[in-house]
Structure 1
């Protein structure tokens, strides 16, 4: 399994569409074999699913994520664990041990109707309902 985590300074970055880095973990038999931090090089929103696919990721751990991005991940065959916060390394360990707390109904909730963009996640309380 190859697990990608939205990444910033060791923690899970909370705004999928604005992710500048992913930490990608290669795992086998419930253990991390190696990991690498990769830059998205400016890719955003819908392009990120393709970016993850290119890097061989089949699983994503993230904070907030909009419906459009969720659909793109689903189409790419990437399993989503959203609504997660804290240490990226710990989240991967928790997932491997079947102990990860995540939100099956995670959404990027925007406040106000004037600036809502489908699949877009800005500084608007992502990962929270």
Structure 2
């Protein structure tokens, strides 16, 4: 079993990791089948808050759009596998593409465009 955390808003992947209003947690079994899906409100934006939140909810992977080097470093320090540069599309579709290996990754740096910054 593994748990994937996806920064979310309004049913879609949110393009800026640390400022996401919500996080969708997807649980996947050893055969790649989705066994659970949970949507939670994200913590207030603060240095390290999102990484701590994701750790507290047992995620071992993050699938996201853009994020800064501070978040990248923190995720690596705590052993969370990072898949950045994912498209800001419907959560179910991005998870399907990720699990079947067809996802098209783009720029994973954060430019603060499209994230209400």
Alignment pair present for 1:102 and 2:102:
no
Alignment of 1:14-53 (within 5 A): 14-28=15-29, 29-53=31-55
Q: Which structure has the larger Rg?
A: 1
Q: CA RMSD of the aligned region, Å?
A: 1.8
Superposed displacement of residue 39, structure 1: 1.2
Q: Give the deviation of 1:45 after TM superposition.
A: 3.9
For the Cα contact (< 8 Å) 2:43–2:53, is it kept in 1? no
Deviations 1:74-128 (A, max 9, x none): 111111111222111111111111222224x62113xxxxxxxxxxxxxx3379x
What is the TM-score with the length of structure 2 in the denominator?
Answer: 0.85
Q: How does 1:27-106 map to 2 (within 5 A)?
A: 27-28=28-29, 29-84=31-86, 85-103=88-106, 106=108
1:32-53 CA distance string (max 9 Å, x none):
1010001123253412111111
Separation in 1, partners of 2:76, 2:90: 25
Aligned with 1:33: secondary structure? strand
Q: Distance in 2 between matches of 1:35 and 1:20?
A: 17
Which stretches of structure 1, 4 residues or longer, exceed 4 Å deviation after superposition? none
Taking structure 1 as the reference length, what is the TM-score of the superposition? 0.78
Aligned length: 112
CA contact (8 A) 1:83 1:102 kept: yes
> C-alpha distance in 2, partners of 1:74/1:40?
20
